[in-house]
A = this chain, B = another copy of it.
């Protein structure tokens, strides 16, 4: 699916900045940081617009934000397990952060379970971050 199609399917206006972000994430196939996206966006990068578009794309369910640490954020394309128009992707898998090469990988096969919470608590969303060494760095 092209970047244009992605936006159209979600009823979001097609603008240069949004196309550039989606293309950047499609080009690499793993979650990227703001700086990594910025470098792929070249001239069309503007910080303020970037943040606003990240919010827009994120709340539309096109991308998801991965907070490894407060100074270490990545954005990942939602891999469209569902290509349905109104099916907002729920971030349902764990993420792996390699402390050596600093890459982030979506672990699609590790689903976020329904935790059994104490009486009275209700869960809306969960995040699992696993940190360690990835296959490439684990010599």
Contacts and interface: CB of A to CB of B under 8 A. Distances in A.
Copies of this chain present in the complex amount to 2
A130 B107 contact: no
A57 interface: no
B138 A120 contact: yes
B121 A133 contact: yes
Contacts of A124: 99, 131-133
Main SS of chain A's interface residues?
strand
A116 to B, nearest CB: 8
Interface residues of A, number: 34
Interface of A: 67, 69-71, 73, 94, 96, 99, 107, 109-110, 115-136, 138
13 contacts: A96-B121, A107-B117, A110-B116, A117-B132, A118-B135, A120-B134, A120-B135, A121-B138, A122-B133, A124-B131, A125-B132, A126-B131, A127-B128
